[in-house]
Structure 1
């Protein structure tokens, strides 16, 4: 099933909105490993440079922290590009290429984890 650009953009926005500056001792549900609630990197940079109202430094740092636990450096760079070009997320999501499908599943799992860890 093809998703609309709005749906794909909502996934990226949900990932951003999922984190707050709350519990500093958050624990991942899968690994049960304490993680930092703040980090910098490509997701953080894309997030803080976006025009989204909820893109605070603390939220973006939280999202980056989760990304560090769940995505490779290359996946982080690829996903960070979605903040500037949400249409690319739609292209990736609807692609029939196996590599794109694998990436999208990891990106979606990252968003879900960010909601659990930071939410």
Structure 2
């Protein structure tokens, strides 16, 4: 029974590692993170707590094209303003939690 539980625990851990989130994948592929899996995983964890999937997809684009963040920040669209407020909270939380 103990052997079965150990194998099940390893399978769960391995499955989680193989299923990196949107933010984590973008972070790992960015030049700034230098493939730091622990940092990118932490940032993904904060994203899971603070951003929905749609917001995570938009935020992930900022890793590839940082200028896109400026475009969203300066947008007059109400939806972009709402997103930007959530994104700022995400950034502040990630900075505190992951440093």
Q: Same fold (TM over 0.5)?
A: yes
TM-score (norm 1): 0.64
Which is greater in Rg?
2
Equivalent residue number for residue 48 of structure 2: 68
Cα distance, 1:82 vs. partner?
A: 0.5
Q: Which structure would you say has the larger RCO, counting Cα contacts within 8 Å and 6 or more residues apart?
A: 1
Among 92, 105, 112, which residue is 2:72 paired with? Answer: 92
TM-score (norm 2): 0.76
Give the CA RMSD over aligned residues.
1.7
- Taking structure 1 as reference, are residues 53 and 40 closer, same or farther at Cα in structure 2, changes over 3 Å only? closer
Does the Cα contact within 8 Å between 1:40 and 1:65 map onto a contact in 2? no
Between Structure 1 and Structure 2, how many residues are aligned? 82
| The structure with more helix, counted as a fraction of residues | 2
Cα distance, 1:117 vs. partner?
A: 1.9
